Structure 1
Amino acid sequence: MVAPAWSTIRGVVLAVLLSACSGDPPEERPDASNPDAGLVDAGTGDAGQPPLDGGTSPEDAGTCGDDDPCTVEQRDDAGRCVVSPAPDGTACDDGDACTTQDQCVSGVCGGSPTTSAPTTYGTAWSHGPSPAERSTAPLEGLAEFVSDDRLLFGDRLGGSGLSVSLVRVTEDGLTRLDHAALDIRVDRFFGTTDWSDRMLTFFVPLGPDRVLVVGSRQRLELLGLEGDRLTTLARLPLHPSSNSILGGAGRGAHFWLCNGSAVTPYRIDPGNVLVADDAHNLQLPGTCNSLSVSPDGNTLWVGTTRGLAPVDITKPEEPVLKPTLLSGLSLFQAQGDGTFVVAHELLRYGQMGRILVYRQSDLGGTATPTPVKSFLPVEETSRWERPVGFVLLQDALLVEWVRLTGPTRAYVVERHALNASGVSSVVATQPLRQSEEVGLTLSPFQLAGRGRHAVLQPWRRVVAMEGTDALRFRTGIHHGSFERVQAAPDGSLLAVGPFGSHRVSVDDPAAPAVLSGGTTLAADTQRLRIAPARPGSATRDLVTLPAAGANVHQEAGTAVMSCLRSSVDGLLEPDGQVRLAGGPAVLASAKGQLFQAAPIPSGGFKLRRFALDVACAGQDLAPASEQTVTVDPAPPDTRKGHALAVDGDRSELLLGEMHYVSPDKPARMPLLWRSWSGEGGVATGELTGSTDQFTAMALAGGRGLVIENGREVYLLERAGTRIETRAHVNLAERSAPVDVSRILAFDGAVAYLAISTVPSGVLALRADDLSEIGRYPTPAPVRSLTFAGSRLVLGMNEALTVAAPACPAAPVPRAR
């Protein structure tokens, strides 16, 4: 039986590894001849090791409690926290999903073995999750309005499909009306010359009852929306070698798609038959970037790299290309509302251009007219800003900006009124994102809006215009990510994303129910976040999940970390901030402690341990202990990556380096294994690999697990001063080969690995011989794992799936 409070199987908590960064100021290189492999304690005398008498040293004094039902904690007369065994027979949960009737005996929790086959039950879906922020392409998914109060979210299922949610927007928030999963990949298009991030899969609204799903090189799929239900009406295959389709627009029974410098008309014949009208193809003056239809349905505005191409579609079956306007501009997007035309300029190599507003009546002569309003990039000593997108709404224009002021990078949206005299000054501002990190790659965005609502990329926050001078966010259950799942002692579940949280019931595993929540956290919630290790727990851990693979990185310099706490309704809410110096570094967390490994340019690492039971009042975290460690005495010139894993139960760490020279030479992976305090000696070893980064690393139950190149899996144990490989497997050589991206959970007996190849899922391995216990198919790549009672819950950005844990018929021996 399992409860996550003291589970010996933990996703992320037991396996957090991070890759190399550089940029620290030079420090004196540790003495490689030191028999302790370069470990020098520069902090407190205990160096992070719990006192031998079971108490808590004064400098670590905080909450006297460890969330373990098999121990009783109380303070003595000196204020020390004294831990003693709970009475035998006390009900507990031993952290083993494969035992029942758990109880405490001599302060240790144990149970009787049981068996179960890997089985998946039901899935709960989310919509509009946020992107992972670490110098990555910004777009995470799609959003498009089909009417003034209904929109579609489209979420990428790890490259294997498209999750479509039909959502209604009201004053009370967002309500999901229906959901469907399509086998259409969501492919990304990244402009090689303009560095714009776009999708080759998108929606084309045709009216309140129909919408087209465009999947470049795959197919067109016509969806019906009648009765607020999603129904497939028709499909039309596209040639796999066809060009990338970057834009589409339509109305009623006609729509147009553009690829390259051509626009192809389509029509919907009776019976919802999709037909391409190749006889009326239009050749544009430049490469097409966007299409939009005017409100009266008579003009198709085509934004190209050589100006604005209007198309007369008064007779949609006979479109007529008109003379090019604004021919001196390369346009990323253009829209018109009958009075104004808004054009977003696209420049080369990420230099985002102007957003220009023209009167439509001024467009028609040979000369380029003067815009009535220009939103211009600014580059000054104290201010840097770029417009990244716009939404043309009912009597209003929303403009999204990215602004750098000192170390702070902020995304904001500003509201302007449109009237007969032109465009007003700013009447309302709404912050979208604020951070001191580099964050996402800059890109222009094609934003969606209708009536009085808009969806703002890349976080897909829904904003509503209120009155004449206000903007307010709208959210609701299912809105946001389910990427990190945490179980409460009562078996309920908390699904956490970068900007929100949800309470989920898994009482019916075949139909998990989302009870409450949404995207509710403030714009200044940071990527690095510490929060209760489980709902209601007094112990805090790092709850950030890595942007890719199993790596959590701290950028160079001092990082701001957000603190979160449990609210009265069981969700997460802000609880201040702290600052963490010492970057660039990798971070790991266990048992209410944060571990930081910062590479020293001259070789070795600074290892710091921080207690997380602090009030978050904006202060710098002070390390409880600090050490200098040398993993490999060789010069660090070839060190390309490193990884850190921590076992909080045994106060041990495993630190590895990746030394890579060229593809024709094997990579070296020197490893160091020891207790945090230095007691018990040091074990070292070395593996060989073929890449320049670790895939994942974990440490638990006296065993280490290392994955390289997504397929080479090593089980390690200590033998005196040596680290020895007890088992090794190449997952690509299995009868059903897979690659994996992270270790979701590892307790020394069973390892749960996230499959990164298509189809997505989880691979369960027996640690003794790395034999396969079973596989769990999932709709998207899995990012976290937890145990809720006797059930296994798999967290994804777009969904969560309930399953049964893998319990072999023969009990798995545990290394204690």
Structure 2
Amino acid sequence: MDAPTPVSWGSGTVLSYGADPAEGGRPPLEGLAESVSDGRILFGERLDGVGMSVSLVRAGPDGLRTLDQRVFDLYVDRYFGSWDWSDRFSTFFFPIGPDRVVVVGSRQRLELLGLEGDRISSLSSYALPPSSDSILSGAGRGDLFWTCSSYYVTAWRVGPGNVLSADTTRSFVLPGVCRSLALSPDGTRLLVSTQRGFVNVDVTRSPPVVGRQYFARQAFFQVQAHGALVLAQELIPYGGMGRILVFRAADLNGTTDPVPVKTFAPRTTPIWESPVGFVVNDAGLLVEWFRVRGSTRAYEVESFALTGTSVSDVRSTLLLRESDEVGLHVTPLGMTAGGRHAVVQPWRRVLEVDASGAMRFLTGVGHGSLERLWVGASGDVTAVGPFAVHRLAIEPVDGPIVVGGGMALTPGTQRLRLLPRSGVDDTWELATVSVGEPGVSQEAGTARLSCLRPGLTGLLEERGSLRVEGGPAALASSRGQLVQVARLSSGSYRVRHFTLPRECDGTLLSPEREDIVRGGHPDSVTPSGWALTADADRGDLLQGETFYDLASGTSRLMFSWFPGDSSGTVARGELLGTTDQFTAMALARDRALVIENGHKVYLLGHEGERIAVLEHADLSQGSDPLDVSRILAFDGSVAWLALSSRPVGVIALAVDDMSVLARHETPSAVRSIAFAGGRLVMGMNNAVTVTTEVPSLQAR
């Protein structure tokens, strides 16, 4: 049996649970959640460095409370079906009782966890072959459970001493590739959804008896039983969303495909909408929808009562997410529920549903992302995620400590955000949550920028918004100005400057200045990628374009350096590269830092109309090869870079000689850093690590 891996990061680390997925056209799921009993939920977060953190959380009238938290050396793997755009994990949990949970790590091991006394303990494990198939689902109760991969369903037994073993007498083969397993409430039937229909399996017999194959020409994402009803969610190839069908359980004993008593189907009028998932708890049925209303996209949950073999009309609706941005992929979503509670995806927001069907959000300390750090005027540190806001105490010796907050931002808070400049003044800075690109992107049409300010409790909250037209474009902020750069069909760029007002009242911003500038390529070739960065104090702008040649596998990186006022000279320069996108760019104190291909670092300066390379290095060529994912901070002399090579963390790079001044390991990829109280604070999607800052760095 493998014990949880001991870890040590910096002088202290705090882990969150229910971290949000990064928005921006990526598969949406970020981590695991499973209801293990009424009011208790198990969360799992991927840790890039050592595996997975597991949090046992209780949902109560006052919100969510962490009961126990452990770190295991299991990596969180996912299975994204390109045929149907279904997103799920091949590392997951499922309960076999109120105090026992099976952790499945495909090609790693099965781990049996005990939850007695609200504490997480490892009871036993069973090693899986590294070359085995992905396991997509599991279900069971007591000492018997099943997992499925490909066409095979494997039975497992929990023996004396909690020893796990395969039970070949209870294993069986399916007529189609397995997609999910669910045990009927009475424990006698296993409902199996496959890529060719679904089957009802009698598991009281040995070997189990596989029943008739229903809807053999249709794929299904999940099938579940509830009382006298069976609910099934279809899969549609190439990104379409299927229906959610409700059947009478008694009709599954016939020789023909049953007729649903209720259907939740996609439609295009009066609005475009599609069901993306469902879950059943003691209060009834919850169905999640993705809906497009003009330029607005929304995820909403509807509540229904289940009575006998009937489904009620909608009893209530709760908005999960509303945005003017495209954001996430639309994909079938698996969710979990127990008692009055449910956890909905892709943000793992916890809902409580009362007897009338009314729903409300539950949250608590540590729930959500900690990725964007903000330092207030008094030096206090706040961690912000897509929906979460947390206040941190970084001074305790065994710290840091999350002292308050949770998923407190409203569902309509946008990804593009403005915050007061951290601890400097009251002008706005663009502080979008990270999505991995080297710059901040605005989508087509009119964008809404949410303005976050401290509220009465000191936590950041949305205090209005501003709007700006002209996307798709790149955005940057400097000295209270918002700069928008959009590429035109002619190959030139339109550069707009907006003054950010103190109050955010929904105003559509008008540009104070607009310039048309030529692109870097003399033949107006369309760039494969481009990015924008600004000097937050001087107002200079650096625009970079990449022109990739597929035949040679090389690229030309072209730069335009604009001074902070319109009277200066635009400087231009060029580098050779090997990728079609920038890794990162930064600008400070009349110097620029550019990273290409994750490890090639260039320090640039400008002389008149010419951009010159002042220093450069290839971080992959040293005795300790490094790859970086972003520039976290740059003051012209020292650059803090986020590592993507393991062990992940950050390095401080002296750019004058490209020497590494410091390195700090973290549990996950670092999204932002802050300096407060003589300490370096590193924010991640699911953690914050605090360490003593290298004393010489601020003096450089």
Relative to structure 1, the CA distance from residue 158 to residue 583 in structure 2 (aligned partners, 3 Å threshold; closer, same or farther) is farther
Count of aligned pairs: 693
Q: 1:719 to 1:148 in 2, by over 3 A?
A: same
1:363-416 per-residue CA deviation (whole Å, 9 max, x = no partner) reads 101012221111111123x42111100011225111001111222211100000
Cα deviation for residue 325 of structure 1 reads: 3.5
The question of 1:249 aligning with 2:160 is answered no
1:266 is the counterpart of 2:187: no
Aligned to 2:218: 329
**1:147-166 superposed matches below 5 A:** 147-158=37-48, 161-166=51-56
Is 1:782 the counterpart of 2:645 in the alignment?
no
Partner SS state of residue 271, structure 1: helix
| CA distance in 1: counterparts of 2:299 and 2:488, whole angstroms | 34
1:133 is matched with which residue: 14, 23, 28? 23
Q: Paired residue for 2:361? A: 473
Q: Deviations over 1:686-712 (max 9, x none)?
A: 111001111100111221100011111
Inter-partner Cα distance in structure 2 for 1:307 and 1:444:
16
| Counterpart residue type for residue 291 of structure 2 | R
Residue number in structure 1 paired with 2:235: 346
> CA, structure 1 residues 799+509, in 2 after alignment: closer, same or farther (shift >3 Å)?
farther
Asked if the contact 1:638/1:661 (under 8 Å) is kept, the reply is no
Alignment partner, residue 227 of structure 1: 117
TM-score scaled by length of structure 1: 0.82
| Identity %, equivalent residues | 51
Matches of residues 241-640 of structure 1 in structure 2 within 5 Å? Answer: 241-314=131-204, 318-380=207-269, 382-420=270-308, 422-534=310-422, 538-640=426-528
What are the Cα deviations for residues 102-125 of structure 1, in whole angstroms up to 9, with x where unaligned?
A: xxxxxxxxxxxxxxxx99210111
> 2:520 aligns to what SS in structure 1?
coil
* 1:186 Cα offset (Å): 1.3
Q: CA deviation at 1:146?
A: 0.4
Offset of residue 328 of structure 1? 4.5
Which 10-residue stretch deviates more, 530-539 or 764-773? 530-539
Superposed CA deviations along residues 135-165 of structure 1, whole A, max 9, x for unmatched, are 1111111111000110011122248521211
Closer, same or farther: CA 610–153 of 1 in aligned 2, 3 Å = same
Asked if the contact 1:541–1:612 (Cα under 8 Å) also holds between the matched residues in 2, the reply is no
> Alignment partner of 2:239: what SS?
coil
CA change 1:217–1:421 in 2 (3 A) is: closer
State the Cα distance separating 1:170 from its structure 2 match: 0.6
Take 1:646 and 1:571, find their aligned partners in 2: how far apart are those partners?
28
Cα deviation for residue 759 of structure 1 reads 2.4
Alpha-carbon separation, structure 1, partners of 2:76 and 2:503? 43
Letter in 2 for 1:571: L
1:427-486 per-residue CA deviation (whole Å, 9 max, x = no partner) reads 011011111221111100111111111111001111111231311110111011100011
| Partner secondary structure for residue 363 of structure 1 | helix
Aligned amino acid, residue 63 of structure 2: G
Deviations 1:564-607 (A, max 9, x none): 22101111222122211111111112333222111122122112
CA-CA distance at 1:265 after TM superposition: 0.6
Contact persistence 1:120–1:801 (CA under 8 A): yes
**Maintained 8 Å contact 2:478/2:539:** no
Tell me, in whole angstroms, the C-alpha distance in 2 between the residues paired with 1:184 and 1:469: 38
Distance 1:805 1:211, change over 3 A: same
Query: How far is the alpha carbon of 1:683 from its aligned partner?
Result: 2.5
* Counterpart for residue 797 of structure 1: 685
1:678 and 1:309 mapped to 2: Cα distance? 70
Report the residue type matching 2:599 in the other structure. Answer: R
- State the partner residue of 2:4: none
Cα pair 1:130 1:459 within 8 Å, conserved: yes
Describe the SS at the equivalent of 1:168. Answer: strand
Q: Is the 8 A contact 1:488 1:788 kept in 2?
A: no
- After the TM superposition, which residues 121-200 of structure 1 pair with which residues of structure 2 at under 5 Å, given as runs? 121-158=11-48, 161-200=51-90
Q: Any idea what SS the aligned residue of 2:356 has?
A: coil
Whether the 8 Å CA contact 2:9–2:667 is kept in 1: the answer is: no
CA-atom RMSD, angstroms?
1.9
SS in 2 for 1:444: coil
Which amino acid in the other structure matches residue 242 of structure 1? Answer: S
State the alpha-carbon separation in 1 of the partners of residues 636 and 554 from structure 2: 28
Provide Cα deviations, 1:621-673, integer angstroms capped at 9, x if missing partner: 12232222224251232411112221132222222111112151421112122
Q: Is the 8 A contact 1:414 1:428 kept in 2?
A: yes
Q: Distance in 1 between matches of 2:536 and 2:42?
A: 44
Gaps of 5+ in 2: 1-7
Structure-1 separation of matches of 2:10 and 2:473? 37
TM-score under structure 2 normalisation? Answer: 0.96
- Partner amino acid, structure 1, of 2:328: L
Cα distance change, pair 796–695 in 1 and its aligned pair in 2 (3 A): same
The answer to whether the 8 Å contact 2:540/2:561 transfers is yes
Q: Which residue in 2 is equivalent to 1:103?
A: none
**Aligned equivalents of 1:657, 1:665: Cα separation in 2:** 16
After superposition, the Cα gap between the structure-2 partners of 1:417 and 1:665, relative to the gap in structure 1 and judged at 3 Å, is closer
- Residue in structure 2 matching 1:752, options 624, 637, 640: 640
Report the CA distance shift for 1:666/1:421 in structure 2 as closer, same or farther (over 3 A): closer
Q: What is the one-letter code of the residue matched to 1:140?
A: E
Match of 2:213, SS? Answer: coil
1:370 maps to a residue whose letter is V
Deviations 1:738-790 (A, max 9, x none): 21110000101111101112321112111111111121100000000001110
Q: Distance in 2 between matches of 1:813 and 1:663?
A: 47
Structure 1 contact 549–695 (Cα < 8 Å) conserved = yes
Distance 1:665 1:461, change over 3 A: closer
Structure number, greater radius of gyration:
1
- Matched residue of 1:349: which SS? helix
Please give the alpha-carbon distance, in whole angstroms, between the structure 1 residues aligned to 2:164 and 2:669. 33
Deviations 1:313-349 (A, max 9, x none): 236x753333333434321100002311101111111
Asked if the contact 1:663–1:690 (Cα under 8 Å) also holds between the matched residues in 2, the reply is no
Amino acid of the structure 1 residue aligned with 2:416: L
- Assess if the C-alpha contact under 8 Å between 1:119 and 1:805 holds in 2: no
1:764 aligns with 2:623: no
1:471–1:320 distance in 2 versus 1, CA, 3 Å? same
Match of 1:15 in 2: none
Q: Give the one of 727, 736, 749 matched to 2:624.
A: 736
CA distance in 2, matches of 1:126, 1:697: 29
Contact 1:454 1:462 in 2 (8 A): yes
Residue identity matched to 2:578: S
Q: Give the residue type in structure 2 aligned to 1:170.
A: G
Measure the CA separation in 2 of the matches of 1:764 and 1:119: 16
